[in-house]
Amino acid sequence: MTHYIPVGLPDRIRHFIDGEFVDSVGGETFDVLDPVSNETYVQAAAGQQADIDLAVAAAKRAFDDGPWPRMLPRQRSRVLHRIADLVEARDARLAELETFDTGLPITQALGQAQRAAENFRFFADLIVAQRDDTYKVPGRQVNYVNRKPIGVAGLITPWNTPFMLESWKLAPALATGNTVVLKPAEFTPLSASLWAEIFREAGVPDGVFNLVNGLGEEAGDALVKHPDVPLISFTGESRTGQIIFGNAAPFLKGLSMELGGKSPAVVFADADLDAALDATVFGVFSLNGERCTAGSRVLVERSIYDDFVARYAERAKNIVVGDPHDPKTEVGALVHPEHYEKVMSYVEIGKGEGRLVAGGGRPEGLDTGNYVAPTVFADVSPDARIFQEEIFGPVVAITPFDTDEEALELANNTRYGLAAYIWTNNLKRAHNFAQSVEAGMVWLNSNNVRDLRTPFGGVKASGLGHEGGYRSIDFYTDQQAVHITLNEAHSPRFGTK
């Protein structure tokens, strides 16, 4: 297979601090691989404490003294709409670079680039339409809520759909008047540097957006522990979330964390099975299985179980695995050899925990690169590691159930609680099950189709807090209550005889 390399790749990936592309103060770098060849294609600046200090100082100056937090919402909205326009105009280039850096199939990367533009457009509209609460006590008092941007927001993003997930945080943080320091994932730093040029062209003032590349243990750690960064928004695995929680605690920082998942897709016998099959196959194998909301545990009512497993396995075997840049590809290459080894280790574990009905190794004809054949295990016990642990790859566990009660018990039987997908045409069951399942988000008879106005977040080990719509506005602003007395203040008169 020929190895596609986009034209115009940078000679080096740098930080972006106070309107300038810069190397690390100490000159530190790290290698960036592409997941098809696993060869280093560029060196990236590896941020350390000194680089984070410079970025935070620039962001704090822009917040304390610059125009951005003081603009009218309509002025900031216009800038955000320009950002959305620029992202849309460059969607093909963004997708090309994202696919090269991540191994995501090009058609899916293009959709993610377009979603990034939509995120900016959504918050551009929301801050203009936003209204704040007023509480009246007729003739006595008026109380209102005054929202204020908080300061420098530290944004730490993952490698699975980097550009789009960066937009989820950047758009509301900037819309509400904060300044930011973004630390993208070290596996996939390529597309993040494009924000700098887009923001500059759209009219974002210098210092409002700062980017520091580097390792989580170095740049990420310094950002979380910086005393001038009151907010941290993090998307990533639950163990890293625990470390961030501990490191942020001494500073009492605002935290929003969307963490891991092991989400159930529950298929009842009365469901539209063709639709359920389409959604549950797509739900775990799209984005190479590297998605936090993947329905990676499929629970199927016993009366349809054997037929469903056979059809599911057949679909998985027919999935097109190959060159991420080929529009026909449905599953590309996993992001990095480290992650590939992790996923393949779970495939081997699964062979002792379930009945392998599809995949189970490297696809034929793809001898190099991080390729994993879509893998399906049936008859998986609820205490199996592949049932309990997040694999984050194209691997699914299918388990039968007999009753609604057993289905709910199985669905809730993990430490995670991000998403759940329920397939049934019984209205009572659908709503009762949805309200009983331990998940921050539930889709009934639907694939993961998200309304940007709704809260996004998980319960249990899947997260802390919510973003999305007004929840993002809440997170990125201080809500100050202002109380005004309309007549004489009647206070107890201490100190009088």
Residues acting as catalytic residues: 258, 292
Let me know: does 300 contact 273? Beta carbons within 8 Å.
no
Q: For residues 461 and 238, what is the distance between their CA atoms, to the nearest angstrom?
A: 6
DSSP state, residue 205: P
Q: For residues 455 and 168, what is the distance between their CA atoms, to the nearest angstrom?
A: 12
Task: Decide: helix, strand or coil at residue 483.
Answer: strand
Q: For residues 448 and 442, what is the distance between their CA atoms, to the nearest angstrom?
A: 9
Q: For residues 325 and 133, what is the distance between their CA atoms, to the nearest angstrom?
A: 49
> How many CB atoms lie under 10 A from the CB of residue 483?
10
Q: For residue 13, which of 34, 53, 4, 169 has the smallest C-alpha distance? A: 34
Q: With helix as H, strand as E and coil as C, how does 361-393 read?
A: CCCCCCCCCCCCCCEEEECCCCCCHHHHCCCCC
Say what the alpha-carbon torsion angle 117, 122, 128, 134 is, to the nearest 10 degrees: -150
Q: For residues 380 and 372, what is the distance between their CA atoms, to the nearest angstrom?
A: 20
